[in-house]
Amino acid sequence: MLEHLKDRNIILASRSPRRRNLLEQLGIKFSVMSTEADETIPAGLDPVKAAIYLAEEKAGHFSGLLEDPKNIVITADTLVVIDGQILGKPTNPEEGKRMLQTLSGKMHEVITGICLRNSQTSRSFTASTNVWFKPLSEAEIDYYLENYKPFDKAGAYGIQEWIGFIGITRIEGSYFNVMGLPVQKLYEELLKF
């Protein structure tokens, strides 16, 4: 269905195995590259603007690739937001535990910012999903952190892992967005790109 992209080199600029797997499911041929990017969010940005800012910052690291007009770079950043507070990736088990305790028994929002960029065009957009957790026990949180080590995930959890199976009671929006790549919205944007 994305025939207009068949002569293009799609580059997913992400280390995330989940994003790679989700993009594969769209049937798109692509390569993967990654770089270390500063994920510091400037003060005062609301979460939607912050997600776009981070995706665009990541895309900026690949400007050399964009000299070739056949290349299209896809970058993404996923944020977990609760009560206006952005939860990033935990740096240690204690921080992961605090994050999961904060999410326990409440609704939070998952926002993914995506940037599509080639030599002539840059297009950025977001997807948002509301997620509800049941009240999590300390034993459940400890078990999850010890066995799944979710330190590469915003908010210290993966919806597709054990904590998602036992703890998430409801979502509104894209499940795949919570995994890190809103593939339906990405597909629609690629159709227009």
pLDDT tens digits for range 148-187: 999 999 999 999 999 999 999 999 999 999 999 999 999 9
CB neighbour list of residue 58: distance below 8 Å, 6 or more residues apart: 13, 35, 37, 75, 76, 77, 115
**Cβ–Cβ < 8 Å for 148, 88:** no
Better-scored residue on pLDDT, 39 or 87? 87
Q: How far apart are CA 37 and CA 51, in angstroms?
A: 14
Strands of the chain (E only): list them: 9-13, 30-33, 71-82, 85-87, 107-117, 122-133, 168-172
Q: How far apart are CA 19 and CA 122, in angstroms?
A: 20
Residue 39 — very low, low, confident or very high, per pLDDT cuts 50/70/90? confident
CB atoms within 10 A of CB 114: 25
Better-scored residue on pLDDT, 27 or 137? 137
**Spatial CA neighbour of 109 closest among 133, 125, 130:** 130
Q: Which domain holds residue 182?
A: 3-192
Q: How far apart are CA 157 and CA 162, in angstroms?
A: 9
Per the DSSP assignment, residues forming a β-bridge with 74 are 12, 116
Q: Give how far Cα 72 sits from Cα of 63, 64, 115, 116, Å.
A: 11, 12, 10, 7
pLDDT tens digits for range 59-109: 999 988 888 999 999 999 999 999 999 998 999 999 999 999 999 999 999
The reported pLDDT for the residue numbered 9 is 94
Domain count, the chain: 1
What percent of the chain has a predicted confidence (pLDDT) above 70?
99
Residue 28 — very low, low, confident or very high, per pLDDT cuts 50/70/90? confident
- Looking at residue 158, which CATH number applies to its domain? 3.90.950.10
Residue 117 — very low, low, confident or very high, per pLDDT cuts 50/70/90? very high
Least confident stretch, 17-31, 89-103, 122-136, 138-152: 17-31
List the catalytic residues.
Answer: 77
